[in-house]
Chain A
């Protein structure tokens, strides 16, 4: 009677994972997505669940907010700001997307200039009020906004509101009173951090999304109820936490990166079962690949996200980096005769040449098929037959231009695709000062397991973990999320002028705000508090995040705090400046209501060696091998070991094992791939 359901709404499929708390049984299925009506796909999928009455909770990763932004289908917004600064969203920061590209068009903000308003008010860089808010002028502005029937929401961003929110809070009261039917977002609540353009852009996006998200979530609730599914439903936030529909409507900008977080949470969870705490995740699908990290058992977070280049949304989110490389990435020859792979993708339609749906151009999937890494008769569990002749024709065309043999060309395509992914892995590991040798690669998505073997060899990562259900892994993650709130605030403090009482108050206010937010959503027990500071040397403009204990800001502990910053700077950037003034810029409190995580069932232990289901010739970077053993994943048992070269096939994916590598199956049926000396 206690089934938890995770739902991931994707472009092609909506994935479902059901977990029964009593039996620990996990059920996984897919339903075609309905892009024009995503709720329909959800309802159809839920209909397939045998015991709808037993559903205790539904967690949904949704692209409602993301699509509204990317397709620019949000609400018409008005923008209110400090006198003199209404053009900040248009002026932006002055830089451009790429050098030398004269065709570039600067991104348009989500608000029209004629709907931007200025009001007299001013707070200074110390948080002092220089000029009071002109309330009567604001009422006039509100009245003018009220006369524009298209406007559905209002965004407010005043200078230095992160230091003193009084004017923004008062503005919200006035706007709410004059315009009761319009949504209002104030920057202090959306993003109380410095840099007015970034904060304004984020606040405008929040207002832009509110009416749309509010309408869609209300509809979704009504339709779930009408379908007899009365279980509470929550949505997944970009920070990997969950929030109630009511809360989501209040801050829709927090739902932007809802779906991709699931895979990272799931990866953290399954890795922790094996005691793995340093993890890099790779979710490779047809058109794109998401990469993220788990450090010391904790997901990595970022606040840098852009709707498109130059339109920032700086909310806390799981640090998932996406590159345009996947199985459908197209191989092509550039003007200088160089072989390139992607970013253009054949997508699901027409798809790779071997899909036989009209695609003519060679893709990574075609190369994998030609090299024997995919079985044409056993793709997607045999639901789709691949056409090797079409793949060969497509790759022959590339090979002719390169004047290389076809097999060598196919391997070159795979190696360049791998190199694109190595670039993404470098960006989350080496470029952040992390040593790949300390990590495990968790590879999932349809194509992740196919490339993991070579990626760990190329990166010097000692092992890969291929979890169960690699094709529905995000939805799987959603059954493991916890409610989570991040509260951040910018307040400049320096090591030379440090007031322990004041900074403690700032931090504890954030904690209290987070508690309130969780209480309001009904979570009162087992709340875990994580505090951190963003610090830098005075004069620098970017910060290092340092986790701190509850009493780190006390007067007798503070020397230790400064020391730990010097050490963190040395570790991250390779040098430190002892004696330099240190500045604390941002205070962060993260609160998580811990619930008991589901534990997957153990699988049967092996009795005897694993038996291959077949053998075939397979291409590897070191050269082709004949008679490579092909195993069925479903037939593998806990404790089985397999020496490479080998291939392990399952419905949603294929795991490649290069010569010299070794695989073992753990208690839960997960594939552990060791790099060996390859």
Chain B
């Protein structure tokens, strides 16, 4: 038995020095930057050689790296052309099944981040871990799913799975996104043959670790971020594995709530397996398998047609994360988008080395963010399955903020760095397709989490509630006000739900005038919310950003407004940051601050960057903004040259 440096049990895994994928097997030995290095494929050896040679415009046709689970998979035989009617029927039926799974999850789960926040996704996968369908829930998880299942296949021999097994997994170092994101998947069999999985990925709010609610702004190790669960069976052949349940629930602050969330997720995969099995029986295994392949080929074709519309070239962009919560210094996330014909290689090699604090992203996050950015630039009607992603290759060498190495912390990588990465992918393409892009959005979930003892129920509560900020200005339209950042499609809690669930009071919920970056097309506005601590003290933590760095603008516009967090202690009249009050390094990332009854927490979200010269903005739009109070008279004059 061996333990590897990245946490794997028994086997030792290492990452490709070029693209950052885990290498299974011997790999290809080589050297990079004067050190010995391993590569996953000849393609990566060549890409690294070209990149290190200083070539500015690299072109290398994508050769996907095949994982062991894929190389052993027998594609179904083809007899004749694809059946378009069958494809249409199966795709809409599978998406409907995924949607139904999501609705069950929404209706039966306990955490507000599930049932109001909709921070989850539901999908169907084939036996090689490719996503064959998903419903429109949380984008970050949609992009991350294929890597996740394929990674689990390295530890669980799928041929040993039984009907009724449910596997749970949340380990970011095994293809995951961050520790709160739990993946449950259940195999489905027809006539004894494994045909795929029903999968659900969802954010469980409280998972133990240093702070209630997982978002430990001052984490320096993965262990601070909560209980890490490698792929294990939570249900075996239809029966609860009680030992696993006990371990899971003993390590969290809100076991009753977690039990409810896990039951809901199990309910969702049970439902998915039941539904998809009936569909496979109806149409037959051979037609089902063939049609799934046809659907992925179809989505690949659609995506290639979209990418071919981008002019060839290398497009670069970068953004700055203000700090990591541990040291007061910035980190760069950078991408070079190599557009070559109907393919794109997104190379993140110029990004900063990984941070001490929790802002780094796993490869799953970086890959998902790249897909997310590109999906925003292409036709939204392409069926979302693994086929979409074939013409896209991500290069993210390990040990950087864009591919964190064990045991680095990473909880904010999925919520804060993901949108930054998706937005720089979009920003890079501004030089290529200016009419399709958007300036930076707020790029933060704000992520103020808190916990305490509930006076009514005599049990511990923990809350993760998300907040929304402005979208960037776009060609032909202003940024929308107050939309959850691009990595999620969540809803935040209504005040009436919030106060009913948690012993806090919300004192306001208000747009922030002038927070949208001025431009011909103005950025959307952020908003503010003031929380008053009432009967019981709470412990609060936060993982946010854009308190110091502003959301970037495009084509001569102004950046979006900063977010902020201010505290007003009971009996004090001053609004102060946690840096001023508690000596924290960062106002946007901190952990375990104690708030007493009477304390107020004021959370402000960033606005979006503008698009185009503010002086080119139609005068009637400026006048309308002024009348609605979206901008002040002072800003109208200073930024737009407008005097009413």
Contacts and interface: CB of A to CB of B under 8 A. Distances in A.
* Chain A complexes with chain B: yes
A105 B477 contact: yes
B267 A575 contact: yes
Contacts of B377: 102
Contacts of B321: none
Contacts of B372: 100
B480 A105 contact: yes
Interface stretch (B111-119, B166-174, B396-404, B561-569): B111-119
Contacts of B481: 90-91, 106
B301 to A, nearest CB: 5
B375 A84 contact: no
A102 B376 contact: yes
A577 B267 CA distance: 12
B263 A114 contact: no
A149 interface: no
B316 interface: no
A114 B628 contact: yes
A236 B302 CA distance: 47
B87 A540 contact: no
Interface string A377-390: 00000000000000
A336 B306 CA distance: 10
A392 B477 CA distance: 42
Contacts of A95: 118, 483-484, 489-491
Interface string B474-491: 100100111110000111
A219 B467 CA distance: 47
A467 B605 CA distance: 57
B644 interface: no
Contacts of B467: 94
Interface stretch (A422-430, A622-630, A633-641, A645-653): A422-430
Contact of B438 (A93, A102, A105, A336): A102
A335 B342 CA distance: 14
A661 B108 CA distance: 41
Contacts of B302: 334-336
Contacts of A195: 494, 496-497
A96 B489 contact: yes
Nearest to B136: A99
Nearest to A130: B505
B100 interface: yes
Given A114-B627, A416-B85, A94 B257 contact: no
A338 to B, nearest CB: 6
B106 interface: yes
A117 interface: no
A87 B85 contact: no
Interface string A77-120: 00000011111101111111011111111100000111000000
B634 interface: no
Given A125-B496, A336-B302, A541 B483 contact: no
A91 B511 contact: yes
Given A92-B482, A402-B84, A431-B103, A541 B96 contact: no
B203 to A, nearest CB: 15
Contact of B375 (A83, A99, A112, A340): A99
Contact of A427 (B96, B112, B115, B271): B96
Interface string A324-336: 0000000000111
B465 to A, nearest CB: 10
Q: How big is chain B's contact interface, by range?
A: 35 or more
B351 interface: no
Contact of B494 (A84, A104, A196): A196
Contacts of A522: none
B492 interface: yes
Q: How big is chain A's contact interface, by range?
A: 35 or more
Contacts of A539: 110-111, 256-257, 260
B628 A102 contact: no
Contact of A103 (B474, B482, B495, B530): B474
A87 to B, nearest CB: 5
A268 B468 CA distance: 45
A426 B491 CA distance: 26
Interface in A273-325: none
A538 B481 CA distance: 33
A412 interface: yes
A93 B139 contact: no
A94 B474 contact: no
Contacts of A125: 496, 499-500
A228 interface: no
Given A102-B474, A334-B381, A423-B92, A541 B112 contact: yes
Contacts of A124: 499, 505
A338 B88 contact: yes
Interface in B79-101: 84-85, 87-89, 92-93, 96, 99-100
A93 B492 contact: yes
Contacts of A430: 100, 275
A335 B383 CA distance: 12
Contacts of A573: 104, 107-108, 267
B305 interface: yes
Interface centre among A93, A420, A431, by most B CB within 10 Å? A93
B298 interface: yes
B100 A431 contact: yes
B480 to A, nearest CB: 4
Given A94-B484, A113-B629, A402-B84, A88 B509 contact: yes
Nearest to A431: B100
A537 interface: yes
B508 interface: yes
B496 A194 contact: yes
A277 B497 CA distance: 37
B621 interface: no
Contacts of A538: 457
A546 interface: no
Contacts of B99: 431
B115 A540 contact: yes
A416 B301 CA distance: 21
Interface centre among B85, B96, B111, by most A CB within 10 Å? B85
Given A98-B136, A338-B84, A539-B110, A85 B508 contact: yes
A104 B103 contact: no
Contacts of A575: 108, 263, 266-267, 270
Nearest to B101: A431
B380 interface: yes
Interface in B512-559: 527, 530
Contacts of A100: 139, 372, 375-376, 378, 380
Interface in B584-635: 627-630
Interface string A575-595: 101001000000000000000
A420 B263 CA distance: 32
A94 B492 contact: yes
B12 interface: no
Contacts of B299: 336
A496 to B, nearest CB: 9
B76 to A, nearest CB: 20
B177 interface: no
Interface centre among B481, B496, B628, by most A CB within 10 Å? B496
Nearest to B271: A574
Interface in A246-275: none
B492 A419 contact: no
B31 interface: no
Given A105-B477, A575-B267, 6 more contacts: A94-B483, A96-B484, A102-B474, A124-B499, A335-B305, A540-B260
10 contacts: A90-B481, A91-B481, A93-B492, A94-B482, A99-B139, A196-B494, A412-B84, A419-B85, A575-B108, A577-B259
* Closest A-B pairs by Cβ, 9 of them: A84-B508, A539-B110, A541-B115, A94-B468, A542-B107, A93-B491, A106-B480, A125-B499, A336-B302
Interface of A: 83-88, 90-96, 98-106, 112-114, 124-125, 159-160, 194-198, 334-340, 402, 412, 415-416, 419-420, 422-423, 426-427, 430-431, 492, 537-542, 569, 573-575, 577, 580
